[in-house]
Structure 1
Amino acid sequence: MSMRPDAPWDDGDEADLPFGTDGIGLDGVATYPIEHNEFASEDDWSRAAGYAVADQPELRLDVSFTVSNPSGTLSASAGIGGRLQRIDLTGVSRLNEVQLGEEILEMASLASAKARSAQHEVTVELMRGLGQDGAGVSALLEHSVGLPTYESTNVRIAEVISARYRTYDD
């Protein structure tokens, strides 16, 4: 049985359907008209028409991660991306310029690493919430992207502080 290419396709099922139906089984479902009132708005469903809503300022959380030297005379703070935000100095007159510069660089580097490790942890948790393997995401972030883990950052901070300030304890 072959069909002619110029013949219209028709399987004849319309004859089996009652008049006025489209065959999808939704004819018995009632339809409800959309009501428009003073609370309905065509462009913004979150606001009631006729009522002004004050614009809310965007809430911005400034998160920073701080590392201080053991004496507490120098602190460095970095934002979540690792960018240095602030250096606090108190009573550093015993250091010359070179020592102070080295101290600032070291604490700034540690604060940046601490902030980036927080970025690593937040990303892993967000991806885990989306169903991804946390260990796989963590490995990708550490080895491909270069974001340190919280554990490796804490080990680095401990090593730097113990090596740098060992001479003061001896």
Structure 2
Amino acid sequence: MRRARPWLIGAALVVAAGLVSGVTPSQDSLVGPFLISGGPADTVTSRMLIASVSGASFADRVVAADGEWEAEGNWLVVELAVSAAHTEVDAEIPLATLHLDGRVFHASERAPESLLQTRLHVGTDTVGTLAFELPEGLRGGLGELRLTHEYLTPELDDVVAITLPLDEAPTASSIELDAPRVGAP
């Protein structure tokens, strides 16, 4: 029994160490963002933003409303109504991402008629679009649109996360991107 005791104690310590490392949260979960989630028909309210999706469509070509910019490819255009929650200081969306099939896509900064970096107002919606250029053939799945009021994904702050069922999204040969406007959707 004296010879087995050190082995039993050692085995118990290894099991205890495995349990401790298994329940210890990762670094990302300690400083990562808090997702404020909602469905495609929900209005999601975070600390800085209030957002709702009014539609999502695929297109082979997107064109600026003034006709001075256009691009061909596999585009997902998301229509949104967004406002500032409590203050107009720094009230904008500098970063919008689409999480789809384990990949992350950023909203295109090439499209001049975009909600990116548009000033938002308290109590009044700003209606506009975000355009995502996707790889060829990616036209479905369950996506998640994430909006934040910071240039980088925030640490220990909230992020609007809206689920987008893209299998039901319509397809158009061309979509005209209108400039963001203040008012009801």
Larger helix percent:
1
Q: Same fold (TM over 0.5)?
A: no
Please identify the structure whose Cα radius of gyration is greater: 1
Where on the TM-score scale, by shorter chain, does this alignment land: which range?
under 0.3
Q: Using CA pairs under 8 Å that are at least 6 residues apart, name the structure with larger relative contact order, 1 or 2.
A: 2
* TM-score using structure 1 length: 0.22
